[in-house]
Structure 1
């Protein structure tokens, strides 16, 4: 990702925001602070990678409410819930609702920094996978119906002769389609084609269809 990751802090306690900012900036993280969930929602750009440190007790809209809203909107931003009044039930609820982690104040600085680094790494990984998935889907869209049929058989591990028999076409035709598929999908070989299929869910769909046909 070209955009530098940002650690977003949402806490209505100014002293906590300043303390967290100081800790994170000294660890070379870029930081952006907000005093309410509403302010964060108004200004946050979901294209910005990073992670969110979210206080669980906020006025008007609580941290848990913001967590649910972000999860419902399918934001990939990992959320680390923070609370000075936390308990096991609240932590479990936050994790079930989609939080990346839950830390109770006061926490060790080293623990927080480790969790932030892990959260950012996860966000970057998911964003990269999403980008690659979209590229694969765009390449799939330019395949002809027959090429897609051939591709489905190929990613099942079938040799050209088996694909020809399965689709009732000639071996030579399969070879031609195979070459065009590799070119359009920008794949170096079957292994790369399978990886692309797994990334966009095509492999699981084709395997499920095979089970239904059986």
Structure 2
């Protein structure tokens, strides 16, 4: 089961933070508000799908500086930039730095809702793919070297007879290894095995 998606709101204006936080909760998403980019950076941990609604101009650490600090730390959450009328140039810089979208204040409620839902959907998809990769890696990691060897041959399209000749084994021995390997991986067919092998980057 995937963790609940979280929408982080970072703006130095408490009224803006409160308004966006209430809006996020109205569309049934978890909202975590911050009025300081520095505090957000210190406390943020990547525990599940998320997006960040970020003001570009703030005292102390700016939105652009926070965006760069997150990227430098290897975090890759979708960022929606919100900006005042005079900060469009900074917003464009944020977009060049990888922000997903920017909205100019005052923005329409529906426009922000659509942006949030799109960002969360994309990050949920990314998180799901990462979970699939981790699961595949764990299952492949449970195989013995001999079982993994058979897996790689099967994924490459070789038959049991071809594998037996390649490894100097009997066909029955290959069949036994194949059965154990398939059982450990939780797959029942070669297409399922191939999909898992590709997810785990075995082929």
Q: Same fold (TM over 0.5)?
A: yes
Distance 1:40 1:195 in 2: 39
Unaligned runs of 5+ in 2: none
- Whether the 8 Å CA contact 1:10–1:53 is kept in 2: the answer is yes
Q: Which residue number in structure 2 is paired with residue 210 of structure 1?
A: none
Structure 1 residues 166 and 95, CA gap change in structure 2 (3 angstroms): farther
Distance 1:152 1:73 in 2: 35
Give the CA deviation at 1:76: 4.2
Distance 1:68 1:202 in 2: 34
Q: How many residues align?
A: 201
- Alpha-carbon RMSD: 2.3
Secondary structure of 1:86's aligned partner: helix
Distance 2:164 2:100 in 1: 47
Q: Which residue number in structure 2 is paired with residue 86 of structure 1?
A: 88
Residues 158-173 of structure 1 aligned to structure 2 (within 5 Å): 158-173=158-173
Q: Which residue number in structure 2 is paired with residue 153 of structure 1?
A: 153
Q: Which residue number in structure 2 is paired with residue 22 of structure 1?
A: 22
Secondary structure of 1:32's aligned partner: strand
Give me the TM-score of the superposition, normalised by structure 2. 0.85
Unaligned runs of 5+ in 1: 204-214
| 1:182 is the counterpart of 2:182 | yes
Q: Which residue number in structure 2 is paired with residue 209 of structure 1?
A: none
Give me the TM-score of the superposition, normalised by structure 1. 0.81
Secondary structure of 2:143's aligned partner: coil
Distance 1:17 1:116 in 2: 14
- Whether the 8 Å CA contact 1:81–1:94 is kept in 2: the answer is yes
